[in-house]
Structure 1
Amino acid sequence: MTAKPSLPSGSPSPSRSATPGGSTVWRAPPDRRKTAWQSVGDHLAIALGVEAVRTGRSVYFSPLADIVASLVRAEREGSLRERIRFLCRASLLIVDEIGYLPVGAGAGNLFFQLVNARYERGAMILTSNRGFAEWGEVFGDQVVATALLDRLLHHAIVVQIEGASYRLRQHADLVPEAMRTRSIHPVAQLPPRRGRPPKDRSSDHRSG
């Protein structure tokens, strides 16, 4: 934890991460997410998964691209329901690398079906280098992305990983301090919800 001093001290414990229906989302900008061997988000997610196994829980770990590919193949073979049921068996599902590769709209819908099947039933940990507002681009459909976030962020713990880039630390003497420490992506907000816009209360104050 010392390599990332801004990581919250109250980060998820294995017991909380594997609580049925809960989810944890690790987020970090892409230039800060990869070390020479593996990402910080990966390392933390794997550590929580290993500890969950030690406490007797079952864990399934996979990059998003592999999960989506298996769902697409299952749909083509007429076994989608069985595949989703298989991915729902584990007490904890860890989905890695959300945002590294784009997901087609149809495949995004399949992933939503998996998330919806696990919603409030099985715990999930997800790692991503993309802000939530960018998930529409990742999954090729803003409606699907909003539905995903609606379920994933309910009962969720979101951990924003900050700090200087590991890559740039190797050449700290050649890189300005501002470039080493600033985030290349601002903290993104959730996609706007459709519906009636909030009432403008400024007129009430002026009239009063």
Structure 2
Amino acid sequence: MNSSYTKLVDNLEYLKLTQMVTHLDETIDFMNNNQLSFVDALIKLTDYEIDMKEINMVKSMVRVAAFPHHKEIKDFDFSFQPSVNKEQILDFISLRFIERKENIVFLGSSGVGKTHLATSIGIAAAKKRTSTYFIKCNDLILNLKKAKLENRLENRLKHYAKYRLLIIDEIGYLPIDADDAKLFFQLIDLRYENKSTIFTTNSNFKDWAKIFQDPKIANAILDRVLHHATVINIVGDSYRLKDHIKKETEES
């Protein structure tokens, strides 16, 4: 028995089934004490391994998504931002919009929580093993420009188009020249009605013609962004200044 047990442990370690090694003794004891069949014991033992692989997979999906921070929906103070409908955000967290290939646009001034909410939804998606990627608009444009110069634009566009959820942060913070706007349009057109995209912007849609420096391209982008989209207009104080405002209120 001892030699068989040792051989089993060696085999499991060789196969890198570390959770099965860790829980082997307790599973054998449980099987003996509860008259568990060999098959049921094996199911119990392999469940430990699967659970750990699932945990590691989720961690990997979240890491690969390149979020700027790990802020989830439980960390968002809805009482500070009453213009945000909590039930609507929780519906987004259910990922129903991804199944329907719809977009979300968070619109509002700097610091009101646009990126936090977008990231929270992205983390929820990644945790459910939905391919997700976060990128700032300026970095996206720079990457597409670089790819075009290196004659690999098509591959780069396909890379960003493959994610079931792409989060493009901070549209409008920096101007985009007309040539770069065309690159951006190509990506939006590839994803249109195929995948879901979350956008955050501090600029009203009427100002997008100035941002992209080409009214025709701006309209074409907006047409595809907004066709199947929910726009969340956040009106309120800067979320980043919340603690300072609270302190001033307490001192007054």
The equivalent of 1:99 in structure 2 is 172
2:148 maps to what in 1? 75
Partner of 2:84: 7
- Long gaps (5+) in structure 1: 175-208
Q: Tell me the SS of whatever aligns to 1:162.
A: coil
Number of the residue aligned with 2:244: 170
Shift of 1:163: 1.6
Is 1:54 aligned to 2:127, yes or no? yes
Structure with bigger helix share is 2
1:34-69 deviations in Å (ceiling 9; x for gaps): 2xxxx5101000000000011120101000001011
RMSD: 2.0
Q: Is the 8 A contact 1:23 1:124 kept in 2?
A: yes
Q: How many residues align?
A: 167
User: 5 Å matches for 1:13-32?
Assistant: 13-14=92-93, 15-19=95-99, 21-29=101-109
Gaps of 5+ in 2: 1-77
Deviations 1:10-53 (Å, cap 9, x if unpaired)? 23513134235310000002xxx22xxxx510100000000001
Question: Is 161-170 or 103-112 further displaced after alignment?
Answer: 161-170
Alignment TM-score, normalising by the size of structure 2: 0.62
Offset of 1:169 from its aligned partner?
7.9
Instruction: Find the aligned partners of 2:245 and 2:83 in 1 and give their Cα distance.
Output: 21
Q: Name the amino acid aligned to 2:99.
A: T
Q: Is the 8 A contact 1:88 1:118 kept in 2?
A: yes
> What is the TM-score normalised by the length of structure 1?
0.74
* Alignment match, 2:34: none
SS at match of 1:149: helix
User: Counterpart of 2:188 in structure 1: which amino acid?
Assistant: V
In the alignment, the residues of structure 2 paired with residue 127 and residue 96 of structure 1 have an alpha-carbon distance, to the nearest angstrom, of 5
Is 1:120 the equivalent of 2:193? yes
The SS at the match of 1:13 is helix
In structure 2, give the amino acid aligned to 1:13.
F
Task: Give CA deviations for 1:129-172 in whole Å, capped at 9, x if unaligned.
Answer: 00000001111111111000100101100000012345498369
CA distance in 1, matches of 2:156, 2:185: 13
Give the number of the structure with larger relative contact order, counting CA–CA contacts within 8 Å between residues 6 or more apart: 1
| CA-CA distance at 1:88 after TM superposition | 1.0
Rounded to whole Å, the distance in 1 between the matches of 2:204 and 2:136 is 18
Maintained 8 Å contact 1:68/1:107: yes
